Structure 1
Amino acid sequence: MPCRRFLTLFMAVAILPLAACGHGKQKKVAGMAPSRVTTIGINAYIWRAALETFSFMPLIQTDANGGVIITDWYVNPASPNERMRVAVAIFGDDLRADALRVSASRQILREGVWVDDPVDASTIQKLEDVVLTRARDLRRTAMSGE
């Protein structure tokens, strides 16, 4: 029992400072949701949008504090001879295009062996645009109070 009390006390003391993170750092313009959300160390709108965008792919790693999302290989049932995996990095707490980097790897199945195939830069740009558009939509929804 003393060990349980110690653990409970330790957890309370360890978590208490985190409760204050982000308070007082943002100015809210009347009628506007903040574009900077700092409670997890990165922009929460971009984080949520990235998770939603790549939710159909199996996730290997997610780290909200570091702003990293890594997926496992995904094979589209409509294209079983091709697979992709994605890595997302979110930098900073502002909702800005330069706060997001998406990289993707693609492989083609040739004679029973997966072979690396380049991913077009335009595909990467489209993926980033999808995430950023969704993040802006999430912010807009927060502004309207829905």
Structure 2
Amino acid sequence: MALVRGAAVALVASGLLLAGCGGLPRLGGSAPTPTAEAGIGVNGFLWRATLDTLSFMPLANADPWGGVINYDWYTNPQTPDERFKATVFILDTRLRADALNVSITKEVRGSDGQWTAAPVAAQTETDLENAILTKARQLNLSNAG
């Protein structure tokens, strides 16, 4: 029990130490660009574009400091035997293509009524990433003008 408690304390302490490192300048790097909205730790345009682009899906939870947006199961009324879930990771404060990762999970309902995992076309995730990036660029341009 003492070992578990000690490990938990060490984990919390290391997390606090790492959290405090965010204000230190990066060696050889440049200062973060002011593209992140106040109050969130990721690019604000990517964040807003993700919420806008996937607004048809029910939002499960969102972590604006960690850059993770989880969507709950969505079923298109035209294909009631398929459902999709999405998780979006925003990985940077800059508006860049590699600062975004979309992960889709798909299930299909069998004749027994049970949902089972099904493959998702790789192009689906790429298409969603491109739609979010396009929207983010539009938001950026409209903000600049």
TM range (shorter): 0.7 to 0.9
Q: Deviations over 1:12-69 (max 9, x none)?
A: xxxxxxxxx9xxx677xxxxxx6x3253110000000001111111111111111110
TM-score (norm 2): 0.74
Indicate how the Cα distance of structure 1 residues 67 and 26 shifts in structure 2: closer, same or farther if over 3 A, else same: closer
Q: Residues 1-146 of structure 1 correspond to what in structure 2 (within 5 A)?
A: 36-37=35-36, 39=38, 40-111=40-111, 112-144=113-145
Query: Is the CA contact (8 Å cut-off) linking 2:46 and 2:136 kept in structure 1?
Result: yes
Q: Which runs of 5+ in 1 are unaligned?
A: 1-20, 28-33
- State the alpha-carbon separation in 2 of the partners of residues 38 and 125 from structure 1: 25
SS, match of residue 135 in structure 2: helix
SS, match of residue 78 in structure 2: coil
- State the alpha-carbon separation in 2 of the partners of residues 130 and 83 from structure 1: 20
Query: Is the CA contact (8 Å cut-off) linking 1:38 and 1:93 kept in structure 2?
Result: no
- Identity over aligned pairs, percent: 44
Query: Is the CA contact (8 Å cut-off) linking 1:46 and 1:90 kept in structure 2?
Result: yes
Q: Which runs of 5+ in 2 are unaligned?
A: 1-22, 24-30
Query: Which amino acid is the alignment partner of residue 43 of structure 1?
Result: N
- State the alpha-carbon separation in 2 of the partners of residues 53 and 81 from structure 1: 23
Number of corresponding residues: 114
- State the alpha-carbon separation in 2 of the partners of residues 131 and 94 from structure 1: 14
Query: Is the CA contact (8 Å cut-off) linking 1:87 and 1:102 kept in structure 2?
Result: yes
SS, match of residue 77 in structure 2: coil
Query: Which amino acid is the alignment partner of residue 70 of structure 1?
Result: N
Indicate how the Cα distance of structure 1 residues 136 and 107 shifts in structure 2: closer, same or farther if over 3 A, else same: same
Query: Which amino acid is the alignment partner of residue 124 of structure 2?
Result: T
SS, match of residue 87 in structure 2: strand
SS, match of residue 89 in structure 1: strand
